[in-house]
Amino acid sequence: MPEIFIDNVRYEFEGKPLVLQFMLDQGLDPPFFCYHPSLSIPANCRQCYVEAGTPVMNRETNEWELDEKGERVIRFFPKLMTSCSLEASDGMVIKTQRTSELVERAQKDTLEFILVNHPLDCPICDQAGECPLQIQTYKYGPEGSRFEHKKVHKPKRIKLGPKVILDAERCINCTRCVRFTEEISKTEQLTIISRGDKNYPAVAPGTEFDDPYSLNTVDICPVGALTSSDFRFKARVWEMNQTPGVDVTNGKGCNIDVWTRDNLVMRITPRFNPAVNDHWMPDFGRDDITRLNENRISKPQVKLDGDSIKSSWSNAEMSMAEKLQEVKPEEILVIGSAFSSVEDNFVLNKHFSALGAKEAVFSPFIKEGSGDGFLIEDDQYPNTNGCRLLGLKELSPSELEASIKESGVKLVISLEDDLVGRGAVSAAAFEGKFFVYMGSNHNETSAAADLVIPISNSVEQSCSFVNTGGRIQRTVAAKETMYTNRKLNLEMSMGRLDRYGTKFDNWVSDRNRIDCMPAWEFLERLATLSDQQFGYQTTRDIIAEIASVNEKFSGVNYDRIDDELGVPLISNEQEAKSV
Partner 1 sequence: MAVDWRNFEPLLIPKIPNLHKIEVFEKHDGYKQLAKVLKEYTPEKVVDEVKAANIRGRGGAGFNAGLKWSFMPKPDGKPRYIAANGDESEPGTFKDRQIFEYNPHLFIEGATIAGFAMHIDAVYVYIRGEYKAWIDMMQKAIDDAYAKGYLGKNIMGSGYDMDMYVHSGAGAYICGEESSLMESLEGKRGYPRVKPPFPAQKGLWGRPTTINNIETLANVPLVIKNGADWYKAIGAESHPGPVLYGISGHVNKPGVYEYPTGMSINDLIYEVCGGMRGGKKVKAVIPGGSSTPPLRGDALEGVCMDADSLRTAGSMMGTAGMIIMDEDTDMVDVLWRISHFYHHESCGQCTPCRDGTGFLEKTLIKIRDGHGEMRDLDLLLDLCTQMEGRTICALADAAAWPVRYTVTRFREDFEKRVKNTVYALA
Distances (CA, A) of 556 to 223, 341, 342, 541: 40, 15, 12, 12
Residue of 191, 229, 353, 426 interacting with partner 1 (CB under 8 A): 191
Measured distance CA(194)–CA(200) in Å, rounded: 7
User: In the bound complex, what is the minimum distance in angstroms from residue 31's beta carbon to partner 1?
Assistant: 12
Distance from C-alpha of 514 to C-alpha of 480, rounded to nearest angstrom: 8
- Residue 60 or 143: which CB sits closer to partner 1? 143
Site map 151..180 versus partner 1, x via CB under 8 A? -x-------------------xx-------
* Cα 29–chain centre separation: 25
Q: Which of 35, 49, 180, 259 binds partner 1 (CB under 8 A)?
A: 49
Closest distance to partner 1 from the beta carbon of 13 (Å)? 19
Q: State the DSSP H helix or E strand holding residue 560, giving kind and residue range, or none if neither.
A: helix 558-564
Residue 371 neighbours by CB under 8 Å, 6+ apart: 377, 378, 379
3-state secondary structure of 152: coil
Number of residues that bind partner 1 (CB under 8 A): 36
Q: Which of 25, 63, 67, 197 binds partner 1 (CB under 8 A)?
A: 197
Using the rule CB under 8 A, give the single segment among 73-81, 265-273, 462-470, 524-532 that binds partner 1: 73-81
Please say which residue, 174 or 556, places its beta carbon nearer to partner 1. 174
Smallest distance from the beta carbon of 195 to partner 1, in angstroms?
5
| CA-to-CA separations, 261 to 242, 249, 265, in angstroms, rounded | 9, 22, 7
User: Within 10 Å of residue 369's Cβ, how many Cβ atoms?
Assistant: 7
Instruction: Kindly state the smallest distance separating residue 222's Cβ from partner 1, in Å.
Output: 12
CB of 46 to partner 1, least distance (A): 5
User: Between residues 85 and 533, which has the closer beta carbon with respect to partner 1?
Assistant: 85
Among residues 398, 367, 369, 363, the alpha carbon closest in space to that of 383 is found at 363
Q: Supply the minimum distance, in Å, between the C-beta of residue 362 and partner 1.
A: 51
Beta partners for residue 227, in sequence order: 165
- Strand-pair partners of 434: 411
C-beta closer to partner 1: residue 201 or 469 = 201
By CB under 8 A, residue 188 contacts partner 1: no
CB 268 within 8 A of CB 286: yes
Q: How far is the CB of 465 from partner 1 (least distance, A)?
A: 42
Map residues 321-340 to x or -, x wherever contact with partner 1 holds by CB under 8 A. --------------------
Task: Count other Cβ atoms within 10 Å, centred on residue 110.
Answer: 21
Give the range of 104-112, 159-167, 213-221, 447-455 binding partner 1 by CB under 8 A: 104-112
- Min separation Cβ 5 and partner 1, Å: 22
Q: Which range touches partner 1 (CB under 8 A), out of 78-86, 132-140, 449-457, 503-511?
A: 78-86
For residue 83, the minimal CB distance to partner 1 (Å) is 13
Closest CB to partner 1 among 85 and 242? 85
Among 11, 113, 272, 507, binds partner 1 (CB under 8 A): 113
Query: Measured between alpha carbons, how far is residue 347 from residues 335, 354, 524, 547 in Å?
Result: 12, 10, 8, 13
Contact between 109 and partner 1 by CB under 8 A: the answer reads yes
499 is a site residue for partner 1 (CB under 8 A):
no
Residues 114-153 that bind partner 1 (CB under 8 A): 114, 116-117, 146-150, 152
| Residue placing its CB nearer to partner 1 in the complex, 198 or 496 | 198
| Cα pseudo-dihedral 145, 150, 152, 155, rounded to 10 | 120
Cβ neighbours for 499, distance < 8 A, ≥ 6 positions apart: none
Cβ-count burial of 299 within 10 angstroms (0-12 exposed, 13-18 middle, 19+ buried)? Answer: middle
Minimum CB–partner distance for residue 150 and partner 1 (Å): 8
158, 192, 321, 447: which one contacts partner 1 (CB under 8 A)? 192
Please tell me the distance from the alpha carbon of residue 269 to that of residue 282, in angstroms, as a whole number.
10
- In sequence order, what DSSP letters do the residues of 381-441 get, joined into one string? STTHHHHHHHTPEE--HHHHHHHHH-TT--EEEEES--TTTTTSS-GGGGTTSEEEEEESB
Looking at residues 28 to 47 of the shown chain, list those that interact with partner 1 (rule: CB under 8 A).
41-47
CB 193, min distance to partner 1, A: 9
Task: Decide whether 21 or 557 has the Cβ nearer to partner 1.
Answer: 21
CA dist 177 and 223 (Å) reads 11
Q: Are 511 and 298 in contact (CB under 8 A)?
A: no
461 within 8 A of 489, measured Cβ to Cβ:
no
Work out which of 18, 80, 226, 289 binds partner 1, going by CB under 8 A.
80
Of 27, 196, 373, 408, the residue at the interface with partner 1 (CB under 8 A) is: 196
Which residues of this chain interact with partner 1, rule CB under 8 A? 41-47, 49, 78-80, 85, 106, 109-110, 112-114, 116-117, 146-150, 152, 172-173, 191-192, 194-199
